[in-house]
Amino acid sequence: MRDSRRLFNLKFQPLAETRPNWQINPQMNKKVSDPLRPFSSILFDGDERAAARAMLYPVGFTAEDFKKPLIGVASTWSDVTPCNMHIDKLAREAEGGANKAGGKAIIFNTITISDGISMGTEGMKYSLVSREVIADSIETVVGCAGMDGFVAIGGCDKNMPGSMIAIARMNRASVFVYGGTILPGCITGDTRKLDVVSVFEAIGAHANQKITDAEFQAVEQCAIPGPGSCGGMYTANTMASAIEALGMSLPNSSAQNAVSPAKLDDCRRASACVINMLKTGLRPRDILTKKAFENAITVVIALGGSTNAVLHLLAIAHAAKVKLSIDDFTRVGKRVPVLADLKPSGKHLMSELIAIGGIRPLMKTLLDAGLLHGDVLTVTGETMAESLAGVKPYPAYQTIIRPLDQPIKKDSHLVILRGNLAVEGAVAKITGKEGLKFTGRARVFNSEELAMTAILDGTIVKGDVIVIRYEGPRGGPGMREMLSPTSAIMGKGLGKDVALITDGRFSGGSHGFVVGHITPEAYVGGTIALIKNGDAITIDAEKRQLNLEVPAAELKKRKLAWKAPKPRYTRGVLAKYASHVTSASLGAVTDADLKL
């Protein structure tokens, strides 16, 4: 590992050298005299701002603190989920790091929800909605409080992209910190390393009488041993890796256990890095370029990451004013192999990858092979190539990351499909272990719950294509994840015998022959709304096609007879979300009609 002190010998100078000794505050259109305090000086300086200063003495400010850069620490702490239960301690470390580096930190909270707890219920409809609430709340506090920069600490699926959307929107000196991965669960006398997906798959196994009541109970009680995000290459670890590949977190932030000295140090150094970004003039949109997003896509593919990365990277790019489309995933994916043997489709957990060096040796391999852009900037001020220069390769004995010439799959497992069932695109997660083509008869369900019942009671049989519709961003609303059905399919032993398609989405823990993000969604009259039981459906990963084998004349007839359903919610946050959200093919963003 390189000397961490180098992180603060920042090389990014051009912006700082070309800027005058004053700047225009873009929100207030005022000149500020201190470039290290472009926002807080407006809030605090001068006799007329005495009331603002008075409000902060009770929370620990001194007179000298008002002369320092104001650094926010956006904490996603909550006892709602083990993913975030430790983040209050991490926030305190980040606060100390900012204060020691010459700033004045303020900790504030945003919400978090738990996909693992709400999965398979109506509550899961709030999951993707929470990404927007988190982004909006961070923007609101940072903007209102005049923070000059901030650290955002996220530990679960939606508060990670939510934090990054806020970082991209605000474009103030900022660094993202991943809360870290959970350690594996274990049962006495059992060699398996358990995680949350083990529980979901045990539900199907128990329903199929493959495990006893006692075995089922043991998995339930032992799978989640403490703090941290889900342990496989599911959405949390996928997005942490993607954010590091974007250059927006410190080296190794994505590959540290939640409870570890390394994670505490990561928080302290991240805050100090924000201060240095203020000194050099480096800002998130200097880092978040098209090349940076291509790097993130490359790393996600090599790791066999979650389909949710497509949705979230599109949304972050939108906030950063970078033109990214689902077709970029196809373009990049044609040349990038899947190298990581990680859960859910593989054998290993993130904690095992951490033990052999995390993702940085993989990134160095990709860089050396010409698959990563080395000239992009990172929050340290170094280029990606400079940041990776001293990284050592994985130990020779390891089996988690394959060599480039021995991939698990020679190209991307994230396959963008088009066809008459997905005119605007769909996202499949196909590692090759499930096969590359599937044709079967449709079994249609207008909600996840109805499909789940059919899977568990034996209605679903070999050769079926399960269709779960009216679960899209607008139709759900909220685009629920289908971890419960996909895990039940695996638990029932049908993983290679049935397929599942949906206008909803999948958890990073889902695996099997699955296709999500089908657009246009059923709620707006997409072809998925016209499928009938028994229709033939073909999924072809090689041709990148998803087709309903029904004549065009028949589809036209069905479309004329189709009636749009009434909204499921007419008030509250779900109704508000449904009225603003765009297609999944655009990242399901809620501000697309605004001129950015």
Q: Cite the active site residues.
A: 507
Beta strands in 47-206 (DSSP E): 70-75, 104-109, 149-154, 173-178
Q: Both tokens of residue 91?
A: 């926030």
Phi-psi region of 456 (alpha: psi -120 to 50; beta: other; left: phi over 0): alpha
Q: How many residues does the chain have?
A: 596
- Count CB neighbours of 16 within 10 A: 14
Give dist(CA 590, CA 596) in Å, integer: 12
Closest CA to 486 of 471, 503, 505: 505
Amino acid present at 100: K
Nearest to 542 by CA among 435, 423, 422, 426: 435
Q: Sheet of 104-109: strands edge to edge?
A: 104-109, 70-75, 149-154, 173-178
Q: Is the CB of residue 588 less than 8 Å from the CB of residue 582?
A: yes
Token pair of 199 as six digits: 């529980």
Beta bridge mates, 464: 441
How many other β-carbons are positioned within 10 Å of the β-carbon of residue 56?
18
> Which residues are CB-contacts of 157 (< 8 A; sequence separation ≥ 6)?
115, 127, 229, 234, 235, 236, 239, 308, 508
CA distance 491 to 512: 11
End-to-end CA distance of the chain: 40
